[in-house]
Amino acid sequence: MEFKAKEIAEILKGRVEGDPEVRVSTFARIESGKPGAICFFANPKYEHYVYDCEADIIIVNDDFVPQKPVKATMIRVPNAYASVAALLDYVTAQKRSYKRYRGSNIKRFLSTRIGRKVYVGSGSYLGKRARIGDYTRIYEQVYIGDDVVIGKKCIIYPGVRIYPGMQIGDNVIIHSNAVIGADGFGFAPLADGSYKKIEHTGNVIIEDDVEIGANTTVDKSQMGATIIRKGVKIDNLCQIAHNVEIGENTVMAAQTGIAGSTKIGKHCIIGGQVGIAGHLTIADNTTLAGQTGVISSIKTEGQVLFGSPALPHRQFLKAYAVFRKNGKE
């Protein structure tokens, strides 16, 4: 799609500084900007690229003061990073077709309920009494079990498996090969040293505006529900165990694992390869740095923790200084 600078400024409620008629048709990173592209500048360490960038438009913060002449037309906005995300959303929505489509070799039942302008790719399976909301897109080779509920304007990418009875809200994105609703890892030890499987009779509830990455697994609960609250963003290759609850607008990077029955608060930031033991509570606004190991509950809100076992930031730095000193002696 092609946009003029003045059109982009109108979409973002920004202000043009330069040629309002200049046109762009693609996005590019500021370090590799080229004619016909739009870039954004938000991180001060990339400022030197602004002056040499060949892109025709650069989105910048309102308070940016150039130290040299800028060749590109600038669009000033309150938050460049948020604005480019909003622009990408807008462009994607314009490209997306909501025309009704049914691929070949689809399995469905008379009791399956499909909303208006739903896309279903070839080779997908829609179970008995499953309900699919308006404008949802279900791509090729997706399995949706009996009694699954999926809301409006969801995107379910190829190869996703959603077990029977799971509930998914509106505007949810689930990437390829994610599994929603497999049994949790629950086994009872027996006197002879073997293990008896504990049946899981609960489900998974995914609220609105959640995104789940490729190859991530969210296990159903033994009883009750595993719950992913509104606005949560989960990266690829994460494991969410049975009976876990993740609070609103928490974000989680790749290869994180959360053991069973742990409750994560709202607005938490969880780095890559974090491990969180079971039956814990993590306070709201907690930040866990990459590879942090959490073995006890975090009760104080707003902490930043590092290491394994997890320690508050300052305490971790002091301990690390001692480790290094002792290692040299």
Give, rounded to a whole angstrom, the gap between the first and last alpha carbons of the chain: 63
Phi, psi of 11 (to 5 degrees): -60, -40
Please name the residue that has the structure tokens 């390869």: 273
Task: Report residue 250 as tokens.
Answer: 């928490």
Name residue 5's amino acid.
Answer: A
Under a CB-based contact definition with an 8 Å cutoff, are residues 33 and 17 in contact?
Answer: no
Can you list the alpha helix ranges (DSSP code H) found in the chain? 5-12, 47-52, 80-95, 313-328
Q: Give me the catalytic one of 48, 175, 200, 242.
A: 242
Show the CA angle centred on residue 298, arms to residues 292 and 303, nearest 5°: 75
Q: Does 279 qualify as catalytic in the annotation?
A: no
Could you give the C-alpha distances from 320 to 276, 305, 317, in angstroms and in order?
Answer: 21, 13, 5
Show the CA angle centred on residue 256, arms to residues 254 and 262, nearest 5°: 145
Long-range Cβ pairs for the range 15-20 (8 Å, 24+)? 15/62, 15/75, 15/76, 15/77, 16/73, 16/74, 16/75, 17/73, 17/74, 17/75, 17/76, 18/70, 18/72, 18/73, 18/74, 19/73, 20/73
Under a CB-based contact definition with an 8 Å cutoff, are residues 272 and 288 in contact?
Answer: no
Show the CA angle centred on residue 306, arms to residues 266 and 229, nearest 5°: 15
Q: Is 110 exposed, middle or buried (0-12, 13-18, 19+ CB in 10 A)?
A: exposed
Task: Report residue 36 as tokens.
Answer: 């016909």
Q: Could you list the active site residues?
A: 242
